[in-house]
Amino acid sequence: MAEFLVQTGWLIPAYGLIGAIATLPWAAGLIRRTGQRPAAYINILMTLLALIHGTLAFEGIWGHGPRELTWDWFQIADLQLHISLELSVLSLGIVELVTGLSLLAQLFALGYMEKDWALGRFFGLMGFFEAAMSGVILSSSLFVSYSLLEMLTLSTYLLVGFWYAQPLVVTAARDAFLTKRIGDVLLLMGVIALSAFAGSLHFNDLYEWVKVANLTPAVATLLAIALIAGPTGKCAQFPLHLWLDEAMEGPNPASILRNSVVVTCGAYVLIRLQPIVVLSPTALTLLVAVGTVTAVGASLVAIAQIDIKRTLSYSTSAYLGLVFIAVGTEWPGVALMILLTHAIAKALLFMSAGAVIVTTNCQDLTEMGGLGRKMPATTVAFIVGSLGLVGLLPLGGFWGYRLGIDFLWGDRPALVVVFLLVNLLTALNLTRIFRLMFMGTAQPKTRRAPEVIWPMALPMVTLTVVTLAVPLVMQRLLLLPPLAYVNLTELLLLIASGAIGVSIGASIPLSKTLARSTRKPFRILQDLLAYDFYTEKLYRFTVVWVVEQLSLASNWFDRYIVDGLVNSIGLASLIGGESLKYSISGRSQGYLLTILVGVGLLGLLMTWTMW
């Protein structure tokens, strides 16, 4: 039985796709009498089947080597493309995380979107989302991974633009799609180049090719930059980071997955590509630089945000920046540890934020307060999610930070400072959010704020328990270090950075009546962080301006040069035809004479030329 479940592991990503297809009659409005709920139940059932199948396959493969499932898909000349999946303890473990969080997010969506008229369409998109994520994790071919990353880009566009009647939502979906497309196009270039260099896009074949690859430094650098561009867009890293902030216009249940496991999929592809990126030390340095800028910059920008979803989304970019640093310093184990612990804690934070939003119909932190007494389950969920995210003992986020600091302690002390600074700023930001949202006096929008209904409370409480149990699971999987190998200095510094962040967040004055400071220096700094260092305006006056000028030049050339040439030929033909019609006599003898004279002159010309 276990062998059968392993051999049919290809069904795990197919379950979500089957659920998405099965919801089409409701999404298209062909079935109306039953309402939209059956579509939701179908997708939840398919996700549950994927979770159960993945769990049994994980148990079946535990203690054994990875298993690969391959099917020939396309072959022409010497080009062979395969659909191949790799079932290993690591890949199945991450797929369990994806399907588990997808199941909880879909249960949460039952309550969050119970009054939405397009519930069937939303759950169909969630199934499509889940299928793409599971496929990316299980894929053992770069070709398949790229194809599924394109599915993720399309899913992001459709889910962000779900409420398409709102102009801001349409703009956010468009910007998210186009920003990701930049990274995807560069990644496609890298995929094509690798196919030509290595002759195969299978990851194991690529790892063997790397051992004998003979590329010039310039080619290796260009190839590596193209390969890391795709994950840079997917993980919302500088300079392709603005889309995640705008994507918060979409429904909250989709934001739960987007900020936890979707970015994990992009980072996982980067980890798979790391042995190839190593060919270029310049690309590794670029990874560290991009990760550092994003981690520190996004942590600072998050502090100045007043929209609860946006401030949490910037925190996501910051943590993925730490993952980029880990990959750039060739410590993929650190990257995986941060990814897994961050995904669980961030999903819980977005669930608690969604509970507050659906109760108060508000996302502005300056209009909240006093919810701690009114929503105890949500308050506990936010506290546990915050503790699981930052480096405070004993929850999962602490161990991810500790592992990264431990590996970087001797060789890269400056990056250790980056880790500690991000931990401090994250703790400060989460404490600030907690004070604004759950403490203080009730505001007009939070005076009547009951706890959420059970379809939302059940997954939130379940994920709270899971977050608390993460250290026990890590201990069971032998991921925690023995006490004899723990560096006490690192431990104290990490705990101190989190404690200092909490202390600053608890002591700084927070004004709800005055969002901006009256002091000009503070106001300038506040605006600088609130507007993301004016990155959008910088793009508008540089990249967008250049593209706009090129478009205007192309339009002028097309209108006056290309169209002018074509119109001139047409005008000449028209004038010639109008002129010739007056020399037409209607006599056939004259036509024959003209033909004979013309042919004779042509023959004479040719004879003279030959002579």
Chain segment 391-411, per-residue pLDDT in tens = 777 888 888 888 888 888 888
Q: Report CA torsion sign: 44, 315, 470, 461.
A: negative
> Is residue 588 predicted with pLDDT exceeding 90?
no
Q: 3-state SS of the chain: helix, strand, coil percent to 5? A: 75, 5, 20
Instruction: Grade residue 488 by pLDDT with cuts at 50, 70 and 90.
Output: confident
**Residue-level pLDDT at 515:** 56
Least confident of 2-11, 41-50, 144-153: 2-11
Reported as a single tens digit per residue, the pLDDT across 96-150 is: 999 999 999 999 999 888 888 888 889 999 999 899 999 999 988 888 889 888 8
At how many degrees (to 10) do helices 454-476 and 332-360 cross? Answer: 160
Domain membership of residue 124 (yes or no) is yes
Tokens of 45: 């059932």
**Residue-level pLDDT at 89:** 86
Beta bridge mates, 141? 202
Q: How far are the Cα atoms of 536, 554, 588 from residue 528, in angstroms, in the given order?
A: 12, 36, 85
Instruction: Grade residue 548 by pLDDT with cuts at 50, 70 and 90.
Output: confident
Reported as a single tens digit per residue, the pLDDT across 497-510 is: 989 999 998 888 77
d(CA 36, CA 31): 8
Give the range of the structural domain holding residue 80, as residue numbers without chain letter: 1-140
- The torsion defined by the Cα of 355, 361, 362 and 363, in degrees rounded to 10, comes to 50
Domain membership of residue 554 (yes or no) is yes
Beta bridge mates, 70? 84
Reported as a single tens digit per residue, the pLDDT across 151-187 is: 888 888 888 888 888 888 888 888 888 888 888 889 9
Beta bridge mates, 79? 76
Map tokens 């949500």 to a residue. 378
Do 378 and 452 meet the contact criterion of CB atoms below 8 Å apart?
yes
Reported as a single tens digit per residue, the pLDDT across 454-480 is: 888 999 999 999 999 888 888 887 777
Domain membership of residue 45 (yes or no) is yes
Instruction: Grade residue 447 by pLDDT with cuts at 50, 70 and 90.
Output: confident
d(CA 316, CA 320): 6
Do 59 and 5 meet the contact criterion of CB atoms below 8 Å apart?
no
> Is residue 516 predicted with pLDDT exceeding 70?
no
Tokens of 511: 């004004």
Q: How many domains does the chain have?
A: 2
Beta bridge mates, 68? 86
Which three-class secondary structure state does DSSP give residue 239? coil
Tokens of 181: 């497309």
pLDDT, averaged across the chain: 85
Domain membership of residue 169 (yes or no) is no
| Residue where a domain terminates, one of 95, 122, 140 | 140
Domain membership of residue 108 (yes or no) is yes
Domain membership of residue 14 (yes or no) is yes
d(CA 376, CA 205): 53
Report the alpha-carbon angle 42-47-50, nearest 5. Answer: 130
Which three-class secondary structure state does DSSP give residue 478? coil
| Residue where a domain terminates, one of 113, 140, 167 | 140
Phi/psi for 356 (5° steps) reads -65, -40
| Residue where a domain terminates, one of 93, 116, 140 | 140
Phi/psi for 469 (5° steps) reads -90, -5
User: HEC string of 564-581?
Assistant: HHHHHHHHHHHHHHHHHH
Instruction: Grade residue 37 by pLDDT with cuts at 50, 70 and 90.
Output: confident
**How many helices (DSSP H) and strands (DSSP E) are in the chain?**
26, 2
Tokens of 444: 């007009």
Which three-class secondary structure state does DSSP give residue 76? strand
Domain membership of residue 418 (yes or no) is no
Tokens of 36: 């939209």
**Residue-level pLDDT at 212:** 86
**Residue-level pLDDT at 555:** 87
**Residue-level pLDDT at 48:** 93
d(CA 254, CA 477): 30
Q: Which of 145, 49, 138, 142 is nearest to 102 (CA)?
A: 49
Least confident of 66-80, 250-264, 438-452, 540-554: 66-80
| Between 2 and 137, the higher pLDDT residue | 137
d(CA 604, CA 611): 10
**Residue-level pLDDT at 321:** 92
Reported as a single tens digit per residue, the pLDDT across 295-333 is: 999 999 988 888 898 899 999 999 999 999 999 998 888
Domain membership of residue 429 (yes or no) is no
> Is residue 30 predicted with pLDDT exceeding 70?
yes
